[in-house]
Structures are given as structure tokens and as C-alpha cells.
Amino acid sequence: MSDERLVGIVLVSHSAEVASSVAALAKGLAGGGSAVPVAAAGGTESGGLGTSAELIAAAAAAVDRGAGVAVLTDLGSAVLTVKALLAEGDELPEQTRLVDAPFVEGAVAAVVTAATGADLAAVEAASTDAYTYRKV
């Protein structure tokens, strides 16, 4: 399947390694998700721990194929950074949503769902539903 109209996924973590690893895990577990545009936006420009509005905006632009961008975050200040970018109104692609989902499980659900060609609302719903996954 062409990635021309697939929802893009951005994974924002305070750690570049965590963001990249979760992206690789989600794409690997998705099987057919290799066509899904996924970008990791972890850490700061200098490679330290933290979040970067510039890295997040660049990641969102890189995965935007016109079907929307789902952004998943790890911790509080990453959420605040994405919310600030959304409030700016011109830093992120028009159809960008901050998704309230667990980082790892939500990322896997997002990539798997996006790989089916689902729209942004369905990707968000699948990611959010990951909160209900039981481990015991």
C-alpha cells in the first residue's frame, strides 16, 4: 500500500533512544506497517534528555501525507510542548492531534491501525483504546 494517504505517527519522548526504539518496535510489530510514516522526536537538538519543539515540528512535517498526524508523548512536559505547538496554529500540519494514549501500546495500535488505511479518528481511537489492555 502506498503511504500517500496514510496517517503519520510522531512519537515524542524525552529520550531520543526511547522514541526511536518505540518507533522501531511499533513498525516491526505492525508487519504491514512498514509503509506507515513514523518519526521519532526524542530528546533535545544537542542530544540531551528533554523535548524540543523544533524536533517535534520537523517530525510532524516529515510524516504528513495529508491524512493527518497523530502525536503520542511519553511524559508531562512532552505533552505541554505539543500543546504549545498546537496552540501556535502554524507550527504543525493542519490535521495534527495530540493522542491521549499509553506510549508503547498506543504507538503499536496507531501504526497497526494506520497501516490499514484508517483515518485519523480511527487511529486516535485505537491508540486511546490501548489504555484498556489488561496484562493480568
Residues 6+ apart with CB under 8 A from 51: 12, 14, 41, 43, 44, 77, 78, 81
Residues 59-63, mean pLDDT to the nearest whole number: 97
For residue 80, pLDDT over 60 is answered with yes
Q: Could you report the per-residue pLDDT of 16-60, keeping only the tens digit for each?
A: 999 999 999 999 988 856 789 999 999 999 999 999 999 999 999
Mean pLDDT of the chain: 93
Report if residue 83 sits inside a domain. Answer: yes
CATH number of the CATH domain containing 117 = 3.40.50.510
For residue 114, pLDDT over 50 is answered with yes
Q: Residue 11 forms beta bridges with which residues? A: 40, 72
- Give the structural domain span for 56: 8-132
E-only strand ranges, 1-136: 8-13, 38-42, 69-73, 96-98
Instruction: Report yes or no: 55 and 48 within 8 Å, Cβ to Cβ.
Output: no
Please give the pLDDT value at position 135: 86
Residues 6+ apart with CB under 8 A from 135: none
Phi, psi values for residue 56, rounded to 5°: -65, -45
Report if residue 106 sits inside a domain. Answer: yes
Please give the pLDDT value at position 33: 60
For residue 4, pLDDT over 80 is answered with no
Report if residue 50 sits inside a domain. Answer: yes
Q: State what percent of residues in the chain have pLDDT above 90.
A: 85
1 CB neighbour count, 10 Å cutoff: 12
Report if residue 105 sits inside a domain. Answer: yes
Residues 90-102, mean pLDDT to the nearest whole number: 95
Report if residue 1 sits inside a domain. Answer: no
| 13 SS3 class | strand
Report if residue 3 sits inside a domain. Answer: no
Q: In total, how many domains does the chain have? A: 1
Report if residue 2 sits inside a domain. Answer: no
